[in-house]
Amino acid sequence: MREYTRRPLVKAKRRQWERERDRGRIARVEPKVLEEARKDPRYEERHSIRKYVICRVSSCGAKQKTITREHLARRHDGLTTEQYREQFQVESLSCSKTRAKLSANGKSDKREIRGLPRRDMTSVRGHRGEPPLRKWLVAGPRTEGKTIVEIAKVLNRQNVRVWTILSGMGFPGGIPYRYDLGEPVTREYGVRLRRATGLERKLFAKCFGLLDGPALGGSRRLHHRIRPNHARAIIEARDFFIRSAAERTRRGRRWGPDSARTLRALVPHLPQVFTLLQNVLTRTRKEFFSNRPQATIREWQDWVCDKAAQKGIFRQFLPLASEVSRFIKLDALRTGGPPVQETAAQALASRLGVGPYTLIHASIARPLAPRAVKSWILEARHSRPDAPTSSGGRPTGISQKSLWRIRQIAALKRLGKWSIENFTRVYPDTPGSADANARAHASKHGKRVRSLQKGLTAASAEAILSEPMPR
């Protein structure tokens, strides 16, 4: 005969015992409190209970931060959250403390009530109750060299959404470029500016606020970008020399460079920029203000972004628009205003810090000779701060001490002495944390270390290791 075991019965009794054990572990309110809570949907609010809500199912009374879908399904015979809300007329299934925390983080408790993982609102394409994402807020930071991740984090949007907007307006993907008057700041840009100034590489880096010149030497890969912090230092120094020449001309000094020719030399693409701005402002007056005479600057910016998606001159103008939009006087562009050339000259001159007539003359003048530009820069640089700082107050570029550490790392690797015993050579000022700091510095500047290591010999590496650390 077939023998039957009692194993299924034992398993059923064990599951019942586990349910009773778990039921005894749950913190519960007293029966009187449960009865009052069943009658009053706002019992927790009236009694200032913030840390839990009461499960109002008869004979339950569990204290829960959130009455979840699993709790109702397992403890109360498959009761759903919708049925629970209709039966007891409660507004929320989470306590006030949990709701405040979720609201501060920009999250919703609906998915948690259903038993699903919480959704981070930064990954949602659109936010309820908020207007659509303005394309202008995406285009502006991109021209300053911000990455897609940085822009998405500031705007609280998904990375794919930001990338879609940028690609629709014609911005190249991958590593971002810093733009100067609508032109991407690349190695070719730096080499062309250095040749226009007539300065040697080291002297150029010193005069233009760079402690090193990583993107200014050689002619290989001229399309590669210059880092945003280096590009900003170059642009700020160039604008300073342009403003200094214009100020000297205004004061009527006996000797000084021609401000228009200096501007033409330091901004070689100025005629193309001026022509592009005039064409865009002409179309703005005909196509935009003819239909919306009372439009604001915000509406004009959105219109420019929509036009950039259709290609043409507006796509070329969009990187320039983020720089000159705050200087454009829209009242002058409305029908019956002054000539477009005057408005464009005033906007572009305000961006560069010169007069409008100087800019108009510079667009047709011959550039100043490199030797004359060089002599003016060497004279004017003494009135400029030696170390331009960023918005956070820290010097731009790489400090001399950091460059010394990079040279030490390259020398140690060239001699095969890159080990934990020699990390104090890189960080003699902090020997206690030399291990972690040396590894982090080598990882951060790995590309620079490798390029320097290729040109070292054993003798030169030994000489580098004997160099003292700069103060």
Cα(117)–Cα(122) distance, rounded to whole angstroms? 15
pLDDT value at residue 257 = 79
Residues 293 and 317 occupy one common structural domain: yes
- Domain assignment present for residue 64? The answer is yes
Q: CA nearest 44: which of 97, 81, 86, 114?
A: 97
Residues 352 and 289 occupy one common structural domain: yes
Residues 39 and 75 occupy one common structural domain: yes
pLDDT value at residue 121 = 44
Residues 243 and 276 occupy one common structural domain: no
- Domain assignment present for residue 210? The answer is yes
Decide which of 266, 283, 304 is a domain's last residue.
266
Domain count, the chain: 5
pLDDT value at residue 128 = 60
pLDDT value at residue 446 = 85
Decide which of 208, 242, 266 is a domain's last residue.
266
Residues 316 and 360 occupy one common structural domain: yes
Say if CB 377 and CB 207 are below 8 A apart: yes
Secondary structure in 3-state letters for 231-282: HHHHHHHHHHHHHHHHHHHHHCCCCCCCHHHHHHHHCCCHHHHHHHHHHHHH
Residues 153 and 183 occupy one common structural domain: no
What is the CB neighbour count within 10 angstroms for residue 136?
20
pLDDT value at residue 274 = 93
- Domain assignment present for residue 117? The answer is no
**Residue 120: strand, helix, or coil:** coil
pLDDT value at residue 119 = 47
pLDDT value at residue 218 = 52
- Domain assignment present for residue 470? The answer is no
Task: Walk along the chain (471 residues) in steps of 10 and give the mean pLDDT of each run.
Answer: 58 72 75 87 85 87 86 82 86 85 60 47 52 86 89 86 88 85 88 89 80 53 80 89 84 70 91 92 88 86 89 89 87 79 90 89 90 87 58 54 87 88 85 81 85 84 84 68
- Domain assignment present for residue 223? The answer is yes
Residues 26 and 93 occupy one common structural domain: yes
- Domain assignment present for residue 113? The answer is no
Q: CA nearest 167: which of 25, 322, 293, 318?
A: 318
pLDDT value at residue 125 = 47
Decide which of 203, 233, 266 is a domain's last residue.
266
Residues 155 and 203 occupy one common structural domain: no
Residues 261 and 276 occupy one common structural domain: no
What is the CB neighbour count within 10 angstroms for residue 70?
10
Residues 406 and 440 occupy one common structural domain: yes
pLDDT value at residue 127 = 59
pTM: 0.56
- Domain assignment present for residue 390? The answer is no
User: What is the domain extent for residue 336?
Assistant: 270-366
CA distances to 14, 29, 31, 68, 460 from 62, in Å: 23, 7, 11, 12, 75
Distance of CA 240 to the CA centre of its chain: 26
- Domain assignment present for residue 213? The answer is yes
Residues 456 and 429 occupy one common structural domain: yes
Residues 188 and 255 occupy one common structural domain: yes
pLDDT value at residue 104 = 63
